[in-house]
Amino acid sequence: MPRIVIFLDLDDTILQTAPKCPPDQPLTPAAFNRAGEALSFMTPAQQRLLEFWLEQGVVIPVTGRTDDALARVAIDFTSWRITHHGAVIRRGDGSLPTWWYTEVRPILIAVQPLLWGLSARLSADAAVGRYRVSNHSVDEWLTYISVKADHDDLALTRLRARLERTGLPPELALHCNGNNLALTVRGAQKYDAVQRVTAELAQDGPLVTIGAGDSLTDLPFMQICDFALTPRDSQIQRETWGDGR
């Protein structure tokens, strides 16, 4: 029998903050901040789906979260883990595979000047633009830049428009969904990571793969899976499906 592997985006796919949850349903805490306070939750439907997947297959997170933020998610992932928007790929024991050093690390090293320069420019305008900039890295290599603006999606809309107008270096890509904007590295994105991990898993026999995500930037990795799933009212559904009638 082929193994079922679910490549699962986390935030706004299988869990979300309380304001994004239905007001009339019991919620299960699913992710926490460093102080141990619940920040994200699962609905009963999300919890049932996740439990079914964990029973029937292998669930692999494919997330923009860092390793530290993933550790604060209350899901017991036992296999591969894809974090940093695809730039970091770890085995079940937490180690980086040998090919990460030969394939992914050189891509990250090559774009370090671009990432640090862009981070500096964004940070210089952060106060005026009403957003905040965070740099994320593994070891000494910057993996992506995230920009957030609490309760002010308009600030990120303006920033996104400015970045698209001025143009990004071809080595970088832009992710924007609601209150999350990230600048990621081409060749070290979710699509690339899922492709690499699928090849590893396929060495042990046939697979049936499911890709689950909510953002337009999840579509590339979902499209290389055998099946794709997106939540109701996700960015994918809103911006690509139309009214469906």
Q: What is the CATH number of the domain that holds 76?
A: 3.40.50.1000
Query: Alpha-carbon distance 70 to 60, whole Å?
Result: 12
Domain annotation covers residue 178? yes
Same domain, 72 and 116: no
Identify the three-state secondary structure at position 136: strand
**What is the value of pTM for the model shown?**
0.94
pLDDT (0 to 100) of residue 154: 83
Domain annotation covers residue 118? yes
The dihedral built from the CA positions of residue 60, 39, 142 and 167, taken in this order, carries a sign that is positive
Identify the three-state secondary structure at position 196: helix
Domain hosting residue 22, numbered range: 3-96+188-240
Q: What is the CATH number of the domain that holds 169?
A: 3.30.980
Same domain, 163 and 193: no
Query: Alpha-carbon distance 232 to 166, whole Å?
Result: 33
Query: Alpha-carbon distance 236 to 233, whole Å?
Result: 8
Q: What is the DSSP letter of 4?
A: E
pLDDT (0 to 100) of residue 180: 84
**Strand 16-17 with 38-42, pairing:** antiparallel
Q: Are 118 and 183 in contact (CB under 8 A)?
A: yes
Same domain, 107 and 67: no
Same domain, 89 and 111: no
Same domain, 7 and 35: yes
Same domain, 40 and 58: yes
Domain annotation covers residue 245? no
Look at the chain and report how many structural domains it folds into.
2
Query: Alpha-carbon distance 123 to 117, whole Å?
Result: 10
Q: Are 145 and 157 in contact (CB under 8 A)?
A: no
Q: Are 38 and 29 in contact (CB under 8 A)?
A: yes
Domain annotation covers residue 114? yes
Q: What is the pLDDT along the chain (245 residues), one digit of tens a residue?
A: 569 999 999 999 999 999 999 888 899 999 999 999 999 999 999 999 999 999 999 999 999 999 999 999 999 999 999 999 999 999 999 999 999 999 999 999 999 999 999 999 999 988 888 899 999 999 889 999 999 887 666 888 888 888 888 889 999 999 888 778 999 999 999 999 999 999 999 999 999 999 999 999 999 999 999 999 999 989 899 888 866 55
Would you mind telling me the total number of residues written for the chain in this entry?
245
Q: Are 43 and 22 in contact (CB under 8 A)?
A: yes
Same domain, 155 and 224: no
User: Nearest-CA neighbor of 40 among 71, 68, 74, 66?
Assistant: 74
What is the DSSP secondary-structure string of 92-123? TTSPPPHHIIIIIHHHHHHTHHHHHHHHHHHH
Domain stops at, among 145, 170, 185: 185
